[in-house]
Chain A
Amino acid sequence: MDRSRVNIAVGIFVILGIVALAYLSISLGQVSFLSGGGYYVTADFPSVGGLKAGSNVEIAGVEIGRVESIGLGPEYQARVSLRVRSGIKLQEDSIASIKTKGLIGEKYIRISPGGSDKIIGPNGKIREVEAPVDFEELLSKYIFGKV
């Protein structure tokens, strides 16, 4: 019976390993099916420049959701779909801006809450947006502009 004991121990060890791997890949891959829920809102940006699905959505630096998907909307605008944690209320005059972490860091969406009484409901739309500032374009404008 000694042999089966070893087998069981190995089996438990392997299962533990698989569970640990699964946990690692879920937490590293930022898969959020465990914390599913929340509601969706969309926002149309003239350009998203480097924003990706999975990017953070923050208020005051606190994560309140994620970018779910990015697609091309009408008039060649970028339509960004955000999943916001349930319980977080976004006022109708909230502004969604695409910002960069630090000088060359990753892009995220910062929402500055508004003061309106109206709340954006599920599948609503954030109308006030700010596209990321394109530094290269700005630079070239002010370098080549001064002829």
Chain B
Amino acid sequence: MTWLARALVLAALLPMVLASPQRVWAGVPTDQLRTQIDKAVKILEDPELKKKPVERRVAVRQVANDIFDFAETAKRSLARHWAPRTQAERDEFVSLFSDLLERSYIGKIELYGGEKVQFVGESVEGEGAVVRTKLITKQGTEIPIDYRMLHRGEKWLVYDVVIEGVSLISNYRTQFNKIITTSSFQELIKKMKTKQEEFIGEDKQKRTSQQ
């Protein structure tokens, strides 16, 4: 190998060496979050889908599934009550909990009316990241929303949402802890199930009255 060929190989390798993991990942959480939020906004603004609320909700849920780590949110919300649970109990809880989140948050998202999302900043620390955003309503009110994300494989996934300084996980952790310590985990599952059934019943009623 001549010195020229050697120099060329070195020059080709140099960018790879310089691009350390830290540099590769900087800004990635924001980018990934932005893509998903843009997708969701597009779905919500689609005039065709506005007429089909069921399909719209399914489409929004799909976008949410791509960026949210519901299992992590469920695990952290249950906190120290997570470890003693069997795999079957965990699976059931995660599915009930993501339904609960869908009902309370994705239901609200359907009220979307032209709010803007502004990305304020991002801080990455090891496997975790916080992306700070502001939701700007049409009246100009700014609502700070922070997304806490974890690095999972290739993706950054959101596990906690902090609105106006109030954390979603903290809110559910307190509630779940109270229910489990005063009664039992089974009682919590029962409560979540009845809430779910109530909601399905109400939803059906609404739909039949609309038709």
Residues in A lying within 8 Å of B, measured CB to CB: 46, 75, 91, 93, 95, 97, 112-115, 127-128, 130-134, 138, 141-142, 145-147
**B61-93 to A contact mask, C-beta < 8 Å, 1/0:** 000000000000001101111110000000000
A95 touches B137 (CB 8 A): no
B170 touches A95 (CB 8 A): yes
B137 touches A112 (CB 8 A): no
Cβ–Cβ < 8 Å partners of A91 in chain B: 79-80
Q: Does B140 contact A (CB under 8 A)?
A: yes
* Other contacts beyond A95-B169, A128-B169: 10, CB < 8 A: A95-B170, A112-B79, A112-B173, A112-B177, A115-B76, A128-B170, A130-B166, A131-B165, A145-B137, A147-B140
Which residues between 130 and 177 of chain B lie within 8 Å of chain A, taking CB atoms?
Answer: 137, 139-143, 148, 160, 162, 164-167, 169-170, 173-174, 177
In the assembled complex, the Cα of A133 lies from the Cα of B78 at a distance in Å of 24
Q: Is the interface of B mostly helix, strand, loop or mixed?
A: mixed
Contact of A128 among B80, B141, B160, B177 (CB under 8 A): B160
A93 touches B174 (CB 8 A): no
Known pairs A128-B148, A145-B139; A75 contacts B166 (CB<8 A): no
B164 touches A114 (CB 8 A): no
Cβ–Cβ < 8 Å partners of A138 in chain B: 164
A115 touches B79 (CB 8 A): yes
The smallest C-beta distance from B110 to any residue of chain A, in angstroms, reads 21
A112 touches B76 (CB 8 A): no
A132 touches B140 (CB 8 A): no
Closest to B85 in A: A115
The smallest C-beta distance from B150 to any residue of chain A, in angstroms, reads 10
B79 touches A145 (CB 8 A): no
Which residues between 97 and 151 of chain B lie within 8 Å of chain A, taking CB atoms?
Answer: 121, 123, 125, 128, 137, 139-143, 148
In the assembled complex, the Cα of A83 lies from the Cα of B47 at a distance in Å of 56
In the assembled complex, the Cα of A46 lies from the Cα of B164 at a distance in Å of 11
The smallest C-beta distance from B183 to any residue of chain A, in angstroms, reads 17
In the assembled complex, the Cα of A131 lies from the Cα of B164 at a distance in Å of 9
The smallest C-beta distance from B88 to any residue of chain A, in angstroms, reads 18
The smallest C-beta distance from A134 to any residue of chain B, in angstroms, reads 8
Cβ–Cβ < 8 Å partners of A133 in chain B: 164-166
